[in-house]
Amino acid sequence: MVAPQNAAEYIGAYKILHKIGEGGMALIYKAIQPSLKRTVVIKKLKDPNREIINRFKKEALLSASFHHENLTAVYDFLYTKRSYYLVMEYVDGEDLRTIIDFMAPLPPVLAGLLILEIVRGLQYTHARNIIHRDIKPGNILVSYSGDVKLIDFGVAKDNVSTRLTLTGMIVGTPAYMAPEQANGEPLSTGSDLFATGILLYELLTGVKPFYGENNTEILSRIVRNKYIPPQRLNPDIPRAYRRIIKKAIHKDKKHRYQNAAEMIKDLEKAIDWQAQSDKKTVISRFLKTLDKTQETTGTDSVKMQVFEAVPSWGWRTFRVALGFVIAGLLVFQGIRFSEKQLGYVQLPAQMQDMMLQVDDQKPQKIHKAGLEIGPLLKGRHRLKAYAPQKPGIVMADITIKAHKTERINLRIPEVRDSASCAITSIPAGAVIAVNDSTLGKTPLTDLHFFPGRYRIRLSKAGYAERDETIRLSRGQAYSLQYNLSPKE
């Protein structure tokens, strides 16, 4: 079949809009599915032989079984007019290669959020015994709405099929291979995490850790684990990110992350919780600042050779000068981010010595009258305040504006102004959440709330969740008891 040339042509029931890309194995088209009025991507297999067709079919079967926010969905697989087609979810955005070329080095919080989403996608596939084997920037899509998607499972390996390699060809992209992959040894889920560590290095520095003039030189550096520490290229990389990179791309498999859950745990510790709670907004707003008029990165070889060519006596001066330049850029980017995304809250003086919880974070004691808290991402946040050893609790939803300080007036209700409440359950030990803010476990007594509507939710492992909304009236006492039903 001749490749479609204009929007009047169809592949099956799909109306072709235009060609958007081409890989080593397939042509990529943007199309419309008229019956559902949705945009899709169609991959058309090029020059098929038996092994390539098997790989293409495998990608279709694997991807069709995925149901995860960080993996693209597959809608259809076609064989028509002697050609194979794969119909997939359309992601309106950019691939990570473009983001690195035009925006790197990224602020650590952005780099961390992107990598965290990638690793969550890998955690899903690894739990199904699927190793991607080709993690690289071109296989990561970031949408303008803030979604991060892992694509291209054409060379993935699972525990069912083992013969996926084209005869005489190396599987994967050399610059992102783990040492065992470069040596042709058996792979593990840690091999994908190794490549993800390389992505984090590249996002934070703008260059790959293992570079070379050809694939042989690149693979040699990977096997010897020879790379410049990322802090030499960008001195402002936080220590937590350096540790993640060092562990992820360690030469010895025993010292690397053994599974995706370990890496996710370290990333969640390194990334500010406010950014995590509004990750799509943070990623989306940053991506919309993309300017494709000028690349920020040159070739890896040239950049790295500059660092290696600096004599030892001049390295300190060179590093200091580079540090000032990079620090200036990061400070400028941080100021822009702060002005557009962050705000503060000023608390009333009477809240001194009370406990305050913002969203779902750990409660902290307010030691200073009129304290400002933040920075917080602009948008809605939930506050919960209470006084230790005293009855009463107050909750409030507030809206933070960018680069502004919001002044709020919270107070614990007096007993005569409040509704008292006791919450129990059978069995006891159920987690109580009021307006989606966790209070503790049943039984809880002597709670005091401002009059109004509250959503009460109880959850306990092995039991069905209870969820209801009640109205509490001033001066009334309520005894709320819930019988929890075991899950079937």
Nearest Cα neighbor of 382 from 412, 348, 349, 358 is 358
- Amino acid residing at 140: I
Task: Tell me the chain's radius of gyration from C-alpha atoms.
Answer: 27
Residue 85 in tokens:
């087609």
Torsion on CA atoms 204, 210, 215, 220, rounded to nearest 10: -170
Instruction: Please pick, among 47, 95, 101, 134, the residue that the annotation labels catalytic.
Output: 134
Burial class (CB in 10 A: 0-12, 13-18, 19+), 488: exposed
CA 450 to chain centre: 38
Alpha helices per DSSP H over 138-250:
179-182, 189-205, 215-224, 230-233, 239-248
For residue 418, what is the DSSP state?
S
Q: How many CB atoms lie within 10 A of CB 291?
A: 9
Do residues 286 and 110 lie in contact, with contact meaning Cβ atoms separated by under 8 Å? yes
Whether 236 is catalytic is no
Strand pairing report for 10-11 and 14-22: antiparallel
Residue 38: which residues within 8 A CB-CB, separation 6 or more?
Answer: 32, 90
Q: How many CB atoms lie within 10 A of CB 106?
A: 23
Q: What angle do CA 197, 115, 68 make, to 5 degrees?
A: 125
Q: Which three-class secondary structure state does DSSP give residue 259?
A: coil
d(CA 283, CA 41): 23
d(CA 42, CA 389): 63
d(CA 227, CA 210): 6
DSSP 434-460: ETTEEEEES-EEEEEE-SEEEEEEEE-
Do residues 113 and 279 lie in contact, with contact meaning Cβ atoms separated by under 8 Å? yes
d(CA 465, CA 458): 6
Q: Which residues are catalytic?
A: 134
